């Protein structure tokens, strides 16, 4: 009752207050004097600071005015706030100069939210990061401040803070940078973050990339396998085959460093941290003449090229390794970007590692059963083969960015990747030790810039070193009974300088020079007696398996390459392209000059229909041998070697392609047909299962068609990819007629779906392909151990198919979005269908009968493989 009476009294007091009037007459009177006069004529008491009212002048005509009207008029003329704290007490203060702002960021073309954009208060490092819905909020911002919005690949926007009060969160439309948009033909070619470019290349932007089936991280080498014409027949990340070419025929750059090893865990995981990879450009054909010395695809990976607006980073863990990265802004013109990854498989084994191990270590000295499963030790049975292994991998990268002016960029990069495996096994009194180390390290420095608005220049130097070292030793009571070595090193350094001049609007001419010094060494050593008395064999003949049981083969060759290239480009205003290029190279090892013409044409016949075609000739002076010593660890048995013009010729490729592209109303249909001829193949560089045959040289003829059909409906995307391939080998010394190539996969089909639901991303995909060919055995001599092979690659393994799925959840941790997290799970081969994906043969002596036995060894596909990831970004 008392509270009710107090409330009624207060209402009455306020009513009287609002109706009370006083007489005023002020003509240019200071506000302080006015307030004192009002206090003398009423019961009001004003609280204020001298600074707040200083310089405020009031003018009111002679009139009778209510207290409420008087306070409003004083506030209007002075610009101050008059806040009632009681019936009689009034505080006079300056209005706040700050406000809370917010907004939603959207892509101007796709109309989709832009998550993780950087929003900064101009002149400071304060700001926020947009969330998964493109929303951002910043508190206590000066009304006069300017807001800078940055997103990779988009034009930076500068906004007035006063226009984006939190009372009205407005949409902010971000536009793709004009230069980037000029290059792009189809945004979100298969999914967001994967775009189709004007020159036919594909660009992966890892910061924008959506989830893909079976993946929880934006791994470049696994992601590109969803593009028709690109596949990995052994299910690895590094075994990329592009339009019928082999993995060693692909040119791979990391920040301008030539890479000779691109995988961890024997190829199952990419060697490059995706969270410092800004983009990757992939050419299936029609590459610029600045790319040389490989005859198949090009994969050009770059890390950040712009100084970040603020320092940011992240840490994470998945089923095989943990990683972290930091992008530190060193002022407005410099930055340092570092990253590191390491597996923890030598400490703890997850279901992911176990599934990958069963795939990788099957049919090696890491003991497996017929299903490819690693055999556990049995301490109760001393006659059983016992074994143990220690395996781990790690990588690290660093990049220093410096932008001395808006037209110049300087970058220094470094990379180190390493894989180590130590394995031992004991069968009765014999102890076998296998040690394998694979390392790739490199560095690059680049200065690029623009002068006068029409002249671009680039100067780059690089160094790359690859080192693979395998040692197999068999001991009995500390006495060496047998030793096998396999060593391979590649040292490559060089420079690249080019100038690009726009001599007329839409007409550009690029001229460049490249120098490289390439030294390749390999050693194959076997000593069955363990006496190490075998002299190195350094002649040019590579001994075949039947020549001798003991050997010591060493090869060290050096090739200096001097190349010049030129490219003319015409880009009409209708977003077409005519590119005419030529490359000339001199290889010192062969003292020969090689001429490579390149043509790439794409022309729009309408806003949604384009035709395209390419023609090119390319040469490759380095390739990989397939080493077939079955008694050793069958891992990383590809050996880099330089061409000698004799046993290992220079590879030569001639390729033509043509097709059309339709893109309209969320639909994309892209069809490419191509023919390719490769000369200079050998039975050593292509790994035939009949490895004991004479060394022979041959060629391959490839005909293929790539088809992509994609539809986007709001946040749902579905795409179908199909590749038809006919790969025919011709090796007259092996077989008079042509036969299917080792990578002849006639049909390769994939259907994938992705959907975004607020903070969730889901993806499901199914893959089907024809089984690869293999050579059957018609007969076997149990006395001599000789194998009578049937027609080459005349039979096929079972057809391959599997179902993959992924789920990713993104969430904010801090209110301003600067700290956020992500959790994801993936499942590969959900229905656990394992089939042979390759076949080789092994001859062993039966110790009981003394006869030779022939074993057909099948490499099984990956089984059910779960994975999970948890990440924090800051």
Write the pLDDT tens digit of every residue in 720-734.
Answer: 999 999 999 998 888
* Euclidean distance between CA atoms 92 and 82, whole angstroms: 5
> What pLDDT band is residue 365 in, cutting at 50, 70 and 90?
low
Q: Which of 18-32, 89-103, 135-149, 204-218 has the highest mean pLDDT?
A: 204-218
pLDDT at position 480 is 78
Mean pLDDT of 422-451: 85
Query: What letters, b where the CB count within 10 A reaches 16 and e where it falls short, cover 77-98?
Result: bbebebeeeeeeebbbeeeeee
Question: Which two tokens mark 333?
Answer: 């013109």
Say if residue 368's pLDDT is above 50: no
Say if residue 617's pLDDT is above 50: yes
Say if residue 111's pLDDT is above 90: no
Write the pLDDT tens digit of every residue in 288-313.
Answer: 999 999 999 999 999 998 888 889 99
pLDDT at position 685 is 58
Mean pLDDT is lowest, of 34-48, 67-81, 170-184, 201-215, for 170-184
Say if residue 13's pLDDT is above 60: no
Mean pLDDT of 611-627: 90
**What Cα–Cα distance (Å) separates residue 134 from each residue in 115, 169, 403, 724?**
5, 12, 29, 40
pLDDT at position 629 is 47
Q: What percent of the chain has pLDDT over 70?
A: 88
| Residue of 82, 83, 128, 64 lying closest to 102 (CA atoms) | 128
pLDDT at position 178 is 60
Mean pLDDT of 490-510: 95
**pTM of the predicted structure, to 2 decimals:** 0.83
Say if residue 8's pLDDT is above 60: no
Say if residue 258's pLDDT is above 80: yes
Write the pLDDT tens digit of every residue in 623-652.
Answer: 988 654 444 455 667 889 999 888 889 999
298-303 and 251-254 beta bridge pairing: parallel
Question: Which two tokens mark 71?
Answer: 């306070």
Q: Which of 6-10, 122-126, 515-519, 534-538 has the highest mean pLDDT?
A: 515-519
With beta carbons less than 8 A apart as the criterion, state whether 809 and 760 touch.
Answer: yes
With beta carbons less than 8 A apart as the criterion, state whether 784 and 852 touch.
Answer: yes
pLDDT at position 46 is 86
> What pLDDT band is residue 468 in, cutting at 50, 70 and 90?
very high
pLDDT at position 531 is 55
Mean pLDDT of 466-493: 87
Write the pLDDT tens digit of every residue in 213-222.
Answer: 999 898 899 9
Say if residue 866's pLDDT is above 80: yes
C-alpha count within 13 angstroms, C-beta hemisphere, residue 834: 18
Q: Which of 149-158, 526-535, 631-640 has the highest mean pLDDT?
A: 149-158
pLDDT at position 376 is 44
pLDDT at position 314 is 95
Mean pLDDT of 518-524: 93
The pLDDT mean for the chain works out to 85
Looking up tokens 């992924």 gives 806
Mean pLDDT of 391-414: 94
* Euclidean distance between CA atoms 392 and 485, whole angstroms: 21
* Euclidean distance between CA atoms 245 and 161, whole angstroms: 55
């Amino acid at each position: 009752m008392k509270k009710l009476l107090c409330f009624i009294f207060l209402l009455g007091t306020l009513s009287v207050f609002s109706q009370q009037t006083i007489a005023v007459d002020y003509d240019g009177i200071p506000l302080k004097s006015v307030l004192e006069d009002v206090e003398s004529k009423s019961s009001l008491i004003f609280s204020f600071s001298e600074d707040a009212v200083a310089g405020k002048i009031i003018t009111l005509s002679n009139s009778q005015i209510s207290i409420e009207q008087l306070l409003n008029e004083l506030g209007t003329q002075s610009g101050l706030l008059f806040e009632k704290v009681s019936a009689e007490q009034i505080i006079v203060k300056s209005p706040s100069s700050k406000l809370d702002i917010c907004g939603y960021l959207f892509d101007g073309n796709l109309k989709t939210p832009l998550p993780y954009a950087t929003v900064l208060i101009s002149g400071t490092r304060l700001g926020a990061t947009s969330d998964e819905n493109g929303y951002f909020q910043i508190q206590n911002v000066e009304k006069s401040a300017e807001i800078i919005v940055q997103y990779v690949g988009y034009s930076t926007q500068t906004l007035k803070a006063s226009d984006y009060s939190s009372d009205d969160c407005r949409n902010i439309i971000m536009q793709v940078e004009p230069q980037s948009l000029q290059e792009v033909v189809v945004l979100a070619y298969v999914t967001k973050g994967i775009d189709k470019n004007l020159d036919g290349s594909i660009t992966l932007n890892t910061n924008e990339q959506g989830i893909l089936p079976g993946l929880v991280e934006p791994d470049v080498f696994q992601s590109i396998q969803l593009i028709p014409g690109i596949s990995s027949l052994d299910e690895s990340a590094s075994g990329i085959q592009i339009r019928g070419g082999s993995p060693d025929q692909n040119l791979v750059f990391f920040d301008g460093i030539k890479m000779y090893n691109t995988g961890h865990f024997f190829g199952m995981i990419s060697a490059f941290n995706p969270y410092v990879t800004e983009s990757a450009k992939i050419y299936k054909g029609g590459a610029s003449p600045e790319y040389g010395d490989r005859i198949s695809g090009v994969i050009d990976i770059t890390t950040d090229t712009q100084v970040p607006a603020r320092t940011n980073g992240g840490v994470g863990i998945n089923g095989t390794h943990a990683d972290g990265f930091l992008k530190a802004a060193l002022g407005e013109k410099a930055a340092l970007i570092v990253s590191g990854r390491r597996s923890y498989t030598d400490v703890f084994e997850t279901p992911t590692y176990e599934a990958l191990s069963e795939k990788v270590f099957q049919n090696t000295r890491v003991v497996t059963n017929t299903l490819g499963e690693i055999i556990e030790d049995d301490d109760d049975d001393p006659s059983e083969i016992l074994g143990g292994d220690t395996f781990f991998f790690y990588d690290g990268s660093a990049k220093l960015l410096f932008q001395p002016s808006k037209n110049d960029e300087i970058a220094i990069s470094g990379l180190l990747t390493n894989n180590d495996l130590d394995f031992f096994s004991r069968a009765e009194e014999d102890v076998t030790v296998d040690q394998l180390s694979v390392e790739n390290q490199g560095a690059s420095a680049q200065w690029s810039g623009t002068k006068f608005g029409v002249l671009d220049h680039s100067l780059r130097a690089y160094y790359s070193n690859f080192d693979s070292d395998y040692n197999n030793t068999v001991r009995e009571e500390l006495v060496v009974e047998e030793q096998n070595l396999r060593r391979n090193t590649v040292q490559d350094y060089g420079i690249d300088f080019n100038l690009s001049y726009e001599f007329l609007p839409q007409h550009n001419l690029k001229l460049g020079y490249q120098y490289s010094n390439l030294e390749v060494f390999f050693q194959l050593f076997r000593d069955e007696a363990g006496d190490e008395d075998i002299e190195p064999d350094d002649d040019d003949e590579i001994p075949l398996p039947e020549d001798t049981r003991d050997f010591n083969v060493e090869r060290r060759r050096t090739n200096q390459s001097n190349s010049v290239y030129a490219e003319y480009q015409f880009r009409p205003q209708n977003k077409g392209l005519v590119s005419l290029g030529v490359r000339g190279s001199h290889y010192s090892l062969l003292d020969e000059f090689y001429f490579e013409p390149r043509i790439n044409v794409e022309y729009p016949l309408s806003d949604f229909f384009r035709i395209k075609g390419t023609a090119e000739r390319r040469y490759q002076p380095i390739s990989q041998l397939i080493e077939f010593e079955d008694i050793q660890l069958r891992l990383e048995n590809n050996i880099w070697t330089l061409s000698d013009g004799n046993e290992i010729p220079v590879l030569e490729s001639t390729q033509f392609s043509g097709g059309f592209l339709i893109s309209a109303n969320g639909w994309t249909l892209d069809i490419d047909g191509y023919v390719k001829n490769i000369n200079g193949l050998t039975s050593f560089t292509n790994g035939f299962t009949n490895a004991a045959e004479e060394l022979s040289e041959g060629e391959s003829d490839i005909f293929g068609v790539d088809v992509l059909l994609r539809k986007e409906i709001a946040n749902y995307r579905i795409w179908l990819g199909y590749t038809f391939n006919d790969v025919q080998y011709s090796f007259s010394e092996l077989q008079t007629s042509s036969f299917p190539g080792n990578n002849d996969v006639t049909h390769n089909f994939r259907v994938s779906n992705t959907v975004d639901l607020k903070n969730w991303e889901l993806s499901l995909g199914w893959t089907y392909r024809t089984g690869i060919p293999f050579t059957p055995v018609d007969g076997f001599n149990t006395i001599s151990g000789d194998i009578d092979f049937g027609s080459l690659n005349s039979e096929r393994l079972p057809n391959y198919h599997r179902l993959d799925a992924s789920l990713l959840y993104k969430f904010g941790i801090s209110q301003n979005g600067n700290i956020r997290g992500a959790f994801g799970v993936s499942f590969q081969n959900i229905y656990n269908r394992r089939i042979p994906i390759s076949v080789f043969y092994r001859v062993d002596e039966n110790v009981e009968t003394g006869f030779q036995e022939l074993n057909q060894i099948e490499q099984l596909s990956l089984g059910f493989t779960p994975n999970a990831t948890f990440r924090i970004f800051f």
